[in-house]
A and B are shown apart, each in its own frame.
Chain A
């Protein structure tokens, strides 16, 4: 873990429960709604990291003191597979259905994580997740500190990215 991340170890967005609940929320949602397994891997810190994936979902996390973002990055074929399993029919990877489906699934694990975090006493102000093509993600502020949590779905890499400002 980098020195910058160590300095931020007290940051609520780096709280183990926040990270665990976000990843568990996603695993449970994918398993229940799409019968797909997600396997989370060891997180790493890299402030210059850029998502290599086509589809992203971002949500803003705020407290009175801290500002940050969580982004989920999906492989296009993984997103297609998830949505096809959920709706039970074929989906065109270039259609708006892809973003709609990723937005809905993100809404579900966001809701699950939000409730669990509130139960743990972490009442974070979280925006509704916004799905978009990764190339259309809003610009990030300079000097952001990032933690990336890779996970595999159908043997393809996807990522959770936690950004601290």
Chain B
């Protein structure tokens, strides 16, 4: 799994969902969690922390949000030379095939469909870790 100090950014316009994700992360041993209220706010925070030399290592974002949606935040990250490899998990209540395909094409690391429980989120984070590790090993070789 990711190291316990991994820095997470949790993005959701509903405070309750941010708390739920934070609670699960806390139970998994991750305490370094920052919150953002929408995609635009998240992008500002990501860039600010990047420029302060304390970059985020994982984003968990809702899809449907005002100002900037999660999918647009993901696309913005993938276009940014620094943020393009940032592990990025999308969380959404809508599981239409077209959405899942759009997220995959945009380069999402994992996709979580609400409702979910702590075990599901843990499994998805582990899968992201395996992908990140596999990519690192591929690059190294």
Contact = CB atoms under 8 A, between A and B. Distances in A.
B16 A115 contact: no
A107 interface: yes
Interface residues of chain B: helix, strand, loop or mixed (majority)? loop
Given A87-B20, A100-B15, A29 B96 contact: no
A73 interface: no
A47 B16 CA distance: 34
Nearest to B26: A88
A118 interface: yes
A28 B15 CA distance: 21
B16 A100 contact: yes
A112 B115 CA distance: 8
A83 to B, nearest CB: 6
A55 to B, nearest CB: 14
Contacts of B117: 32-33
A54 interface: no
Contacts of A100: 14-16
Interface in A31-90: 32-33, 83, 86-89
B16 A83 contact: yes
B115 A118 contact: no
Given A108-B115, A112-B114, A101 B16 contact: yes
A34 to B, nearest CB: 9
A84 B115 CA distance: 16
Contacts of A83: 16
B93 A111 contact: yes
Interface in B4-23: 14-17, 19-20, 23
Interface of A: 28-29, 32-33, 83, 86-89, 97, 100-101, 103-105, 107-112, 114-115, 118, 128
10 contacts: A32-B116, A83-B16, A87-B19, A100-B15, A107-B64, A108-B115, A109-B115, A110-B93, A111-B93, A111-B95
